[in-house]
Amino acid sequence: MTARELVVPAPPEDVLPRAALALRRLGARLTRYDAGEGALEARAGRRVLPVVVRLRAVAEGSATRVTIASDTRDWRAIVRQLAAELVGAEWT
């Protein structure tokens, strides 16, 4: 499983719902959402060979370290787009 890490200037309780919304906009179906653990899982793509995306959000000071993992060797567009949306978001 390949993974990508990034740091977002917001608390995990803000990052996780925004990531869930972004994944839904990208056509993914959430299969797990655990706010207590700061984790979610989604499936996207074809039914025969779906792409599984797992996200973990862990507090790191006033920011959040986000780990996005995928079951594919290539990153596919959905993981790149999710990371870009989280990094480019305006956090208040």
Does the pLDDT at position 89 exceed 90? no
Model confidence at 88, pLDDT cuts 50, 70, 90, reads confident
| pLDDT reported for residue 74 | 61
Strand order, beta sheet including 29-34: 2-8, 63-70, 51-60, 39-44, 29-34
> What separation, in Å, do the N-terminal and C-terminal C-alpha atoms of the chain show?
32
Which tokens is 92 given?
Answer: 């208040």
Report the pLDDT value the prediction gives residue 87, as an integer from 0 to 100.
Answer: 87
pLDDT of residue 44: 82
- Tens of pLDDT, residues 39-84: 999 988 776 566 889 999 999 999 999 999 887 766 667 778 888 8
pLDDT at residue number 73: 64
In this predicted model, what pLDDT tens digit does every residue of 8-18 receive, in sequence order? 999 999 999 99
Q: Answer yes or no: are the C-beta atoms of 6 and 55 closer than 8 Å.
A: no
Domains of the chain: 2-88 (3.30.530.50)
Identify the pLDDT of residue 49.
60
Dihedral-angle region of residue 61 (phi above 0 means left; psi in -120 to 50 means alpha; beta otherwise): left
